[in-house]
Amino acid sequence: MNKNINPLEIYKSIWRFRMKTIIISIYFFIIIGYFIWPFKFVFQCEVCPNGASWAVKENGIEFQTPGLLRSLSPPIGLYERLTSGKGLTIVAWLTTARLNQVGPARIVSYSQDPFFRNFTLGQENGDLVFRLRTTRTNLNGMNPEFTVPGTFVPGKRQHIVMTYDHLNYRFYVDGQLRKSEPAPGGTFSNWDPDYQLLIGNEQTGNRPWIGGVERVVVYDRPFSPAKVVQAYRSGGLGPNFDGVAALFEFTECEGSIIHDTSGVQPGTNLELSAFYFNEGTRDFLSLKPRDMTDVLSNFLILFPFGFLLFLNLSKVFGAANLQSVAITFLATVLFSLAAESLQYYVEARTSSLFDFASCIAGGVSGSLVAMAFKPFHHVS
């Protein structure tokens, strides 16, 4: 037996190894959880069963399971009225079924897919979310995105109004002003006339909203507070003010066509079918642009992964730093590919080549920083 062996040093080495293993394991499970949140896996369909149906007790449409109402053709009449109008107002009588809806879940959307839209009114947990494309925002209607915290109450019939005058956004709930925000300005000249008007989902089928709608009206001008109160006090029976661009009262109560009763020509009739054809199938490792915040967050999340992995590999390979970097690179590629593959099937997440590349860049950068951090290069 070697008398020079210090039992205390052995104990310390084992303790450091165990702590390092625990820290790495906790970190690993945290980032796995981040990548697959909100833990709802959906499998893309080309022909999707439509969960939208006529309400049983009253006029309206219920979404008990994921579904979609979609305009029969691009809403040219709506497009022309809004792009030549004085602003935008969306009025909806609705009832959300639950709070845990994310994406945001699309209530009313004039869009192509999760990344390109003219406008969207949606729900993110209990918050109201609104996105609007102008010449001073991006093509997803974000930067900025507007949120009204604590808007939705499950099972409660609510009157939601978003009104916009190119200077300010104002959001009303049940006749009361909940939030007013300055707008970035710009015009609607960059809107796309080929997008569809949608209720309850995106065309890709992966931003479903669960609840019921009784009345949806879109106007080509802003509302005054008095008009908001008047619309709320009507209880969903009107009135229809000047500037209406699309109006859905859901009085048909049966059939597959929901008529736009605004009088605007051509009208924006919606289709309620037993199945809907997914015309916007998501891409695996999509090449569609991502916000810089998404790219940066993925870089920062994988940076510690590369840093910690390199330090552990350097214990194995000693001074063979390039070999450690190469293995860290390969491990980051495999881990990132696995994460993006999972995200393809996760509701409200996106499988993006930009995310994949930023993850790899983060892991490799972490390993290079670890290699340059000389105090950690000592191999005992």
In this structure, the answer to whether residues 338 and 233 fall within a common structural domain is: no
323 pLDDT exceeds 90?
A: no
Please provide the DSSP assignment of 351-372 as one string. -BHHHHHHHHHHHHHHHHHHHH
350 pLDDT exceeds 60?
A: yes
In this structure, the answer to whether residues 15 and 117 fall within a common structural domain is: no
Residue for token pair 């995310």: 355
Q: Compute the distance between CA of residue 224 and CA of residue 112 in angstroms, rounded to an integer.
A: 31
In this structure, the answer to whether residues 195 and 78 fall within a common structural domain is: yes
CB 152 within 8 A of CB 128: yes
AA letter at 4:
N
Q: Compute the distance between CA of residue 309 and CA of residue 39 in angstroms, rounded to an integer.
A: 26
Q: Per-residue confidence at 42, pLDDT binned at 50, 70, 90? A: low
Please provide the DSSP assignment of 240-272 as one string. --TTEEEEE-----SSSEE---S--SS---EE-
Sheet of 116-124: strands edge to edge? 146-148, 127-132, 116-124, 105-113, 196-199, 69-71, 270-271, 257-258
- pLDDT single digits (tens) 254-301: 999 999 999 999 999 999 999 877 655 556 787 777 777 888 888 998
Please provide the DSSP assignment of 100-143 as one string. ---SPEEEEEEEEETTEEEEEEEEETTEEEEEE--TTS-TTS-S
In this structure, the answer to whether residues 268 and 360 fall within a common structural domain is: no
In this structure, the answer to whether residues 347 and 236 fall within a common structural domain is: no
Whether 292 maps to a domain, the answer reads yes
In this structure, the answer to whether residues 207 and 326 fall within a common structural domain is: no
Q: Per-residue confidence at 373, pLDDT binned at 50, 70, 90? A: confident
Q: Compute the distance between CA of residue 333 and CA of residue 309 in angstroms, rounded to an integer.
A: 13
Task: Specify the number of domains making up the chain.
Answer: 2
In this structure, the answer to whether residues 51 and 160 fall within a common structural domain is: yes
Domain boundary among 242, 277, 312: 277
Domain boundary among 277, 292, 324: 277
pLDDT score recorded for residue 13: 61
- Please tell me the total number of residues recorded for the chain in this structure: 380
In this structure, the answer to whether residues 57 and 16 fall within a common structural domain is: no
- pLDDT single digits (tens) 72-111: 999 999 999 999 999 999 999 999 999 999 989 999 999 9
195: domain CATH number is 2.60.120.200
In this structure, the answer to whether residues 321 and 307 fall within a common structural domain is: yes
Whether 2 maps to a domain, the answer reads no
Whether 249 maps to a domain, the answer reads yes
In this structure, the answer to whether residues 205 and 343 fall within a common structural domain is: no
Whether 344 maps to a domain, the answer reads yes
pTM of the model: 0.70
- pLDDT single digits (tens) 124-157: 999 999 999 999 999 999 888 999 999 999 999 9
In this structure, the answer to whether residues 147 and 246 fall within a common structural domain is: yes
pLDDT score recorded for residue 54: 97
Q: Compute the distance between CA of residue 248 and CA of residue 116 in angstroms, rounded to an integer.
A: 24
- pLDDT single digits (tens) 214-254: 999 999 999 999 999 999 999 888 888 999 999 999 999 99
Q: Compute the distance between CA of residue 183 and CA of residue 221 in angstroms, rounded to an integer.
A: 15
361 pLDDT exceeds 70?
A: yes
- pLDDT single digits (tens) 307-320: 888 888 877 777 66
Domain boundary among 220, 244, 277: 277
Whether 1 maps to a domain, the answer reads no
Range of the domain at 304: 7-42+284-377
3-state secondary structure of 75: coil
In this structure, the answer to whether residues 204 and 71 fall within a common structural domain is: yes
Residue 288 CB contacts under 8 Å (≥ 6 apart), including other chains: 115, 116, 352
Q: Compute the distance between CA of residue 204 and CA of residue 346 in angstroms, rounded to an integer.
A: 13
